[in-house]
Structure 1
Amino acid sequence: MLQREGTDLTQDGQCRATSGHWTSPYDGVTADSAAQLDIDHVVPLKEAWRSGASEWSTEDRRAFANDLTHSQLIAVSARSNRSKGDKDPASWQPPAGQLPMHLRPRLGLGKHVYGLTVDPAERSALDGMLATCA
C-alpha cells in the first residue's frame, strides 16, 4: 500500500517502506518517512461493523480490513486520520476541495463492494461529493 501511494520509495532489508514521498489525500500534508503516516481504512472498521460487518465471519472481516484490491487502505496524515476516526461521510469529510476527484468514489466503494448499508445521510454526502466532480 505504501508503494502504491508513494514515490521514490526506499525499503529496508525486510522490504518495509522506510522513506519516500507521500501526500495525504485528506489534507495535502506531505511526508518523507513512512513513520509520519497513518494507514486509514477508508470505510472505518467500526462503521463497517455498524453497517453490516457484524454479521460476517472472522475471515470476511479480516479480508475487508486488509483489502488492497479495492483501495480500502490509504496513507494519510495522522491528524486527518484521527480527525476522521470511525465517522462515515455524513459525519466527516476532508476539508472542502481537498480530496482529489479520483479518490472520492473510494468513500462509497468499500460499502458497495462488501454490501454494507448506506443510510440516507451518508448517501446524500457521497452524492454531494461526487456531484462536484462533474
Structure 2
Amino acid sequence: MFRRAAFGLPTASLVILGVFAGPALAEPPEPPSTTTARTELAALTVAAPHSMDGYARDKFGIWASQPDGCTTRQDVLARDGHNVQDQANSCQPSGSWYSAYDDKTVTVVADATIDHMVPLAEAWRSGADTWTADQRKAFGNDLNDPQLLIASESSNSSKSDSGPADWKPANHAFWCTYGKDYTHIKAVWKLTTTDDEKTALSSMIDTCTN
C-alpha cells in the first residue's frame, strides 16, 4: 500500500478541546470498544440543536494542505485505499476504495468521496458554531480520530448532512462501527446530541457482538 506521512495541522492549532491531534495514523483509526462507546454515549450532553445561522462548509477549512504537500482528502485516499499507487508524485493516487456505508468498492478515484462521520452541519448545530476558526479547521481535517472515511458518491449523497436519527448506512454490517465511531467523535469533540440521536446510536451499538 502506498503511504504518506501525514501530520495534520500545525501543533499550535491542534491542542483543541483538550485533544492533541498529532501525527496521522497510517491506517484508519480503530473504533473504540463497545464498552467505551456505551460509556461515551451515556456521557454525551443532550441539548436542543443550535441555529444554522452563519453555517458554511468553507468555515471548516476543507481540504487543508498537509506538510507532505498533499491535501487532507488525498492523504485519506492514500491511507485507506487498496493497491494504491502515487501518480508521478502528484498526490492523486490510483487504486480501489471500499465504501463501508453501502458495501461497495470504488475503482475510480474521482468517485471515492471523503465523508465526515459527523457531518459538518451536524457539528455546527451541536456546538461547532461557537468554536474558533482553528478548531473548525482541525475538525474538518481530523486525520487522527475516525472522522474521515471513504464513501461512494451515492451513499455520501444519501447521507448528506444527516445524523443517525435520520440516516443509517444501507450496509447493516457497518452499523456497529458507525454507531461507535459517531459516538466517539461527538465525545472527543464535546459535541451535544439529541434524544432521538442518542436512541439511534444506542440501537446501532446494540448490534455489536462484543
Q: Indicate conservation of the 8 Å contact 2:114/2:148, yes or no.
A: yes
User: 1: CA distance between counterparts of 2:176 and 2:86?
Assistant: 30
User: 2: CA distance between counterparts of 1:17 and 1:105?
Assistant: 30
Cα separation, partners in 2 of 1:11 and 1:45, compared to 1, 3 Å: same
Q: Deviations over 1:59-108 (max 9, x none)?
A: 00000000010021111100000110101110101025142644541122
Q: Give the counterpart letter for 1:11 in structure 2.
A: D
Q: CA deviation at 1:15?
A: 4.8
2:53 matched residue in structure 1:
none
Bigger strand share: 1
1:120 matched residue in structure 2:
195
Query: Does residue 163 of structure 2 align to residue 88 of structure 1?
Result: yes
User: 1: CA distance between counterparts of 2:179 and 2:78?
Assistant: 20
User: 1: CA distance between counterparts of 2:81 and 2:146?
Assistant: 14
Select which of 7, 13, 16 maps to 2:91: 16
Which ranges in structure 2 are unaligned for 5 or more consecutive residues? 1-75
Q: Give the counterpart letter for 2:143 in structure 1.
A: L
Two-structure CA RMSD over aligned residues (Å) = 1.5
Select which of 110, 116, 119 maps to 1:35: 110
**Which structure exhibits the higher relative contact order, with contacts defined as CA atoms closer than 8 Å and separated by 6 or more residues?**
2
Cα separation, partners in 2 of 1:14 and 1:104, compared to 1, 3 Å: farther
| Aligned counterparts, 1:30-69, within 5 A | 30-69=105-144
1:26 matched residue in structure 2:
101
Query: Does residue 205 of structure 2 align to residue 130 of structure 1?
Result: yes
More deviation, 32-41/59-68: 32-41
> Bigger radius of gyration, 1 or 2?
2
Partner-residue secondary structure (3-state), 2:102: coil
2:150 matched residue in structure 1:
75
2:29 matched residue in structure 1:
none
User: 2: CA distance between counterparts of 1:96 and 1:19?
Assistant: 25
Which ranges in structure 1 are unaligned for 5 or more consecutive residues? none
Select which of 80, 103, 108 maps to 1:5: 80
Q: Work out the percentage of aligned pairs sharing the same amino acid.
A: 40
Taking structure 1 as the reference length, the TM-score comes to 0.92
Q: Deviations over 1:6-45 (max 9, x none)?
A: 1100112335243112110000111122211111011000
User: 2: CA distance between counterparts of 1:80 and 1:8?
Assistant: 23
Q: Indicate conservation of the 8 Å contact 1:43/1:111, yes or no.
A: yes
Q: Indicate conservation of the 8 Å contact 2:168/2:175, yes or no.
A: no
Partner-residue secondary structure (3-state), 2:174: coil
Taking structure 2 as the reference length, the TM-score comes to 0.60
Partner-residue secondary structure (3-state), 2:145: coil
Q: Indicate conservation of the 8 Å contact 2:118/2:185, yes or no.
A: yes
